[in-house]
């Protein structure tokens, strides 16, 4: 069931975009960022880092809305996002998606 | 995408100590990240903030922060923090420690600091066992859970930590899981700015010890479990927020009240004694 409708003034807002930065050798491959990104922007890569984990990779750069959930949930300080425009929009918890 | 640059939280962590010791899929790094964000957003002067822990996997947290931090002996974080606060009332004092450290060996300190309403902030990571020492059962281990010291299932009733905190007199009591990153960050911020004894319980994955023995899967599976089984119930009586193995997890803010702190209530004993001499 959907609890919300599309805001009527949605066209007045510009959606923020984010640039994703991954510090590959810090990653321990827990996949939290990949699973809980509300826009499903990230995917597991085939690459190995120095510790032998598969870090995430950006599969849909254009989809990133700079909510920074990945940045907050990453246990390793291995991923962060810089905003392209204005303020972030999604303040949702991952389970509310 | 760019690689290998500087993370915004590197200003608050000891980046040279990364990677930390916590296992892949452990919730501790996420809890720590939320704490640092809350501290950053709180507007507090970080030179006036101190973080204290006892011993355990959770107890390693202060060692990774760039603010003043103390890694004390097992169970003694709260008396140490109480001393810091009473000697330097202008400090914001945070205790970040595990369920075993705060409620087994340190249990008495907890209830009495709460009773006195000492103005300190407690963050307890509840992973339902003694993670660091190999996964023994402790005071929060649910009935029937398998641990190294309960191979046939735990038969001791666990503490409901939010009920213990509320019953002991804490002025602020919340519970979240490691998945509730935004709400957890907001609650930590709120607790840091609140006067009195505050208590935050974080239900957190320990895939290596507790998770593995109870077939909960990896850290990500535990996080998905929280996503599916957490229910937010703000304001309910904490006694109704019992936890059990594989049951639902009641989360939310249960208590937020105001009352005078230990220091507020302390009379000026020196001048009283001097008056008596005359
Ligand atoms: C006086 C004393 N007794 C026992 C120990 C062994 N010990 C180290 S950590 C720990 C329990 C930690 O459990 P918890 O606080 O839940 O932390 P976790 O590792 O689960 O985060 C114990 C019993 C000790 N270090 N000192
Ligand atoms: S900032 Fe948000 S949308 Fe962008 S990758 Fe991270 S979690 Fe996904
Ligand atoms: S959350 Fe962090 S450690 Fe986990 S997979 Fe993503 S980048 Fe790696
Ligand atoms: S033993 Fe458990 S609590 Fe300790 S670091 Fe590993 S997963 Fe985390
Ligand atoms: Mg523990």
Residue A3 has pLDDT above 90, yes or no: no
Task: List the structure tokens of B267.
Answer: 């009379």
Give the C-alpha separation, A39 to A64, whole Å.
Answer: 7
- pLDDT tens series, chain B, 278 aa: 444 479 999 999 999 999 999 999 999 999 999 999 999 999 999 999 999 999 999 999 999 999 999 999 999 999 999 999 999 999 999 999 999 999 999 999 999 999 999 999 999 999 999 999 999 999 999 999 999 999 999 999 999 999 999 999 999 999 999 999 999 999 999 999 999 999 999 999 999 999 999 999 999 999 999 999 999 999 999 999 999 999 999 999 999 999 999 999 998 888 889 998 87
- How far, in Å, is the centroid of ligand 1 from the Cα of B74? 6
Find chain A residues with C-beta within 8 A of B222's C-beta. Answer: none
Cβ distance of B7 and A78 shorter than 8 Å: yes
| CB nearest B26 (choices: A23, A24, A75) | A75
Task: List the structure tokens of B228.
Answer: 């599916």
State whether residue B17 is helix, strand or coil.
helix
Interchain CB contacts (distance < 8 Å): A and B: 102
Q: Are B251 and B234 in contact (CB under 8 A)?
A: no
Residue A9 to chain B, least CA–CA distance (Å) = 26
| CB nearest A95 (choices: B26, B33, B179) | B179
Give the C-alpha separation, B126 to B204, whole Å.
Answer: 6
- pLDDT score recorded for residue B2: 47
Give the C-alpha separation, B255 to A37, whole Å.
Answer: 31
Find chain B residues with C-beta within 8 A of A90's C-beta. Answer: none
The domain segmentation of chain A, as residue ranges, is 27-83
Say which residue the tokens 């030179």 belong to: B47
Given pLDDT bands bounded at 50, 70 and 90, which one contains residue A84?
confident
Give the C-alpha separation, B89 to B48, whole Å.
Answer: 10
Residue nearest to atom 2 of ligand 2 (CA): A67
Distances (CA, A) of B46 to B12, B28, B59: 9, 21, 20
Is the model's pTM score more than 0.90?
Answer: yes
State whether residue B107 is helix, strand or coil.
helix
Residue A87 has pLDDT above 80, yes or no: no
Find chain B residues with C-beta within 8 A of A42's C-beta. Answer: none
A22 CA closest ligand 3 atom index = 7
Residue nearest to atom 4 of ligand 3 (CA): A30
Tell me the CATH number for domain A27-83.
3.30.70.20
The two most distant CA atoms of chain B are separated, in Å, by 76
Here the ipTM equals 0.94
- pLDDT score recorded for residue A94: 67
State whether residue A60 is helix, strand or coil.
coil
Q: Which ligand is nearest to the CA of B23?
A: 4
Cβ distance of A22 and B1 shorter than 8 Å: yes
Residue to mutate (ligand 1; options B122, B130, B161; most atoms within 8 A of CB):
B130
Cβ distance of A72 and B33 shorter than 8 Å: yes
Q: In what order do the strands lie in the sheet with B121-126?
A: B68-71, B49-53, B92-98, B121-126, B198-203, B172-177, B249-256, B230-232
Per-residue pLDDT of A11-30, as tens digits, reads: 888 888 999 999 999 999 99
- pLDDT score recorded for residue B1: 44
CATH 3.30.300.30 fits B9-277, yes or no: no
Which residues fall inside 5 Å of ion ligand 5, going by CB?
B 98-100, 127, 131
Give the C-alpha separation, A78 to A25, whole Å.
Answer: 8
The domain segmentation of chain B, as residue ranges, is 9-277
- How far, in Å, is the centroid of ligand 3 from the Cα of A78? 6
Q: Which of B150, B214, B201, B209 is nearest to B174 (CA)?
A: B201
- pLDDT score recorded for residue B256: 98
Residue A51 to chain B, least CA–CA distance (Å) = 10
Q: Are B150 and B176 in contact (CB under 8 A)?
A: no
- Interface residues of A toward B, Cβ cutoff 8 Å, are 19-26, 28-32, 35-36, 51, 53, 57-58, 61, 69, 71-78, 80, 91-95
Find chain A residues with C-beta within 8 A of B229's C-beta. Answer: none
């Amino acid at each position: 069931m959907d609890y919300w409708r599309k805001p009527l003034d949605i066209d007045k807002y510009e959606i923020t975009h984010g640039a994703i930065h991954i510090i590959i050798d810090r990653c321990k491959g827990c996949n939290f960022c990949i699973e809980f990104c509300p826009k499903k922007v990230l995917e597991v890569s085939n690459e190995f880092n120095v510790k032998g984990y598969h870090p995430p990779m950006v599969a849909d750069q254009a989809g990133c809305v700079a909510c920074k959930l990945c940045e907050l949930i990453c246990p390793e300080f291995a991923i962060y996002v810089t905003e392209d425009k204005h303020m972030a929009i999604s303040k949702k918890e991952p389970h509310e998606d | 995408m760019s690689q290998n640059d500087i993370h915004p939280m590197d200003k608050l962590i000891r980046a040279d100590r990364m990677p930390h010791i916590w296992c892949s899929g452990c919730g501790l790094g996420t809890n720590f990240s939320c704490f640092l964000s809350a501290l950053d957003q709180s507007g507090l002067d970080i030179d006036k903030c101190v973080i204290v822990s006892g011993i355990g996997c959770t107890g390693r947290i202060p060692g990774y922060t760039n603010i003043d931090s103390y890694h004390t002996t097992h169970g003694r974080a709260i008396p140490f923090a109480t001393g810091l606060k009473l000697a330097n009332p202008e400090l914001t004092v945070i205790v970040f420690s595990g369920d075993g450290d705060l409620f087994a060996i340190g249990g008495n300190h907890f209830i009495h600091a709460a009773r006195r309403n000492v103005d300190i902030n407690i963050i307890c990571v509840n992973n339902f066992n003694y993670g660091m020492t190999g996964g023994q059962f402790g005071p929060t281990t649910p009935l029937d859970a398998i641990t190294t010291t309960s191979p046939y299932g735990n038969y001791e009733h666990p503490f409901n930590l939010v009920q213990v905190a509320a019953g002991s007199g804490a002025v602020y009591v919340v519970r979240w899981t490691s998945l509730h990153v935004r709400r957890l960050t907001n609650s930590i911020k709120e607790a840091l700015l609140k006067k009195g004894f505050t208590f935050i319980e974080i239900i957190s994955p320990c895939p290596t010890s507790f998770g593995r023995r109870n077939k909960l899967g990896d850290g990500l599976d535990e996080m998905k479990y929280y996503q599916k089984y957490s229910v937010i119930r703000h304001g309910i009586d904490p006694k109704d927020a019992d936890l059990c193995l594989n049951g639902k997890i009641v989360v939310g803010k249960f208590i937020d009240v105001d009352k005078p702190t230990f220091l507020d209530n302390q009379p000026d004993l020196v001048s009283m004694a001097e008056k008596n001499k005359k």
